[in-house]
Amino acid sequence: MTPPLSVPLSDYVIAGADSIPTPALLIYADRVDGNIRAMIARCGNDPARWRPHVKTAKARDVIARYLMHGITRFKCATTKELRVLLELGAPDVLLSFPVVGATAQRVRELAAAHTATRVSVLVETAQHLAAFSGSGLGVFIDCNPGMDRTGANPSNAAAIAALANAATNTGCEFRGLHWYDGHLHGLPLRERTAVAHKGYDALATLVHRLAALGVEPREIIVAGTPAAPCALSYTRWADVGGPAQISPGTVVYNDTTSLEQLPPEWGLKPAALVLATVVSHPRDGRFTCDAGHKSVSADAGVPTCEVLGHPDWTPSKPSEEHLPIDCARAEDVPAIGSPLLLLPRHICPTVNNFDEALLVRDGRVEGRAGVTARGHDGL
């Protein structure tokens, strides 16, 4: 992990922190708005260029902020996220996850009940497409840009063209291509950009080959958070048919990883923190707080977070509810009962750990927001 970020504690302190049961998720409403405005500005003040993935935002009240700022296109990964977007009246939603069987049927039911929203699905094979035959839904074909997670082989233009034509012939609408280069993280921006641009060149080649086969992708969706600056600096989108949509979601809240990888001049700020409390002094130079991996996600590795205002404190490996933290100097160990503000290393699954968040504005808690899109739909 890179050295701690310089995030001033004074900008995030809230009144009455010691009266809040912890661990608690804090969402700073004004910084959410600032991050949304900053991203739209980076997209040339064109909200249509940004199709944010709501896997990060999760809370209905926060997703509604996107709509207030003029965002009309969204991505999601679960039927629960899809349902929240549909209930909010989002105009255009892509379920960017390959679904089949009962889950595909749930998508069809949700779309049929919310016809004002243009719902699209992601496919890579005829089997995926068959689940939506006759539905009238939009279809994006997922391409594998080297992440090797999902997607059709982009070098096989004939197979992709056949799938696009099959979408039209089975009562769906072929809309375009999905190119999620989410594996481009951890590299310096210059190297990341070179790899990403090579991928976009391959995407342009695919589009030209599809055109020769009579298939025209009207929309191109690329780039999660790490590749977003790479996509915005690519100068050959005209060769792909026009500017691609980017789809970072983390930027609504940010975390240590995104703030390390995105240019500081973008002006993005942390907008979600976990409030924790010191509960133990197990040995000299170490204390433990109540924010284990069931609160602050450990999927991105250890340390799972930074302690705001204390770059010399090092969070250690967490247990389910315990997070031990080491101090460089034993005399700096905070008293039992002291509140801490933690900036997660990966905010998306951290938000998913909480049923509700406290909304903060001007240093005070102004209300609560349900994390309505967390988890998955049951029967």
- Tell me: domain 51-247, CATH 3.20.20.10, correct? yes
List per-residue pLDDT tens for the chain, 379 residues long.
Answer: 455 566 888 899 999 999 999 999 999 999 999 999 999 999 999 999 999 999 999 999 999 999 999 999 999 999 999 999 999 999 999 999 999 999 999 999 999 999 999 999 999 999 999 999 999 999 999 999 998 899 999 999 999 999 999 999 999 999 999 999 988 888 899 999 999 999 999 999 999 999 999 999 999 999 999 999 999 999 999 988 888 999 999 999 999 999 999 999 999 999 999 999 999 999 999 999 999 999 999 999 999 999 999 999 999 999 999 999 999 898 999 999 999 999 999 999 999 999 999 999 999 999 999 999 999 987 6
Predicted local distance difference test score (pLDDT) of residue 107: 97
**339 CB neighbour count, 10 Å cutoff:** 19
Predicted local distance difference test score (pLDDT) of residue 242: 83
In the chain, where does the domain assigned CATH 3.20.20.10 lie?
A: 51-247
- Tell me: domain 9-25+267-370, CATH 2.40.40.20, correct? no
Predicted local distance difference test score (pLDDT) of residue 6: 67
pTM, rounded to two decimals: 0.95
In the chain, where does the domain assigned CATH 2.40.37.20 lie?
A: 9-25+267-370
Predicted local distance difference test score (pLDDT) of residue 1: 43
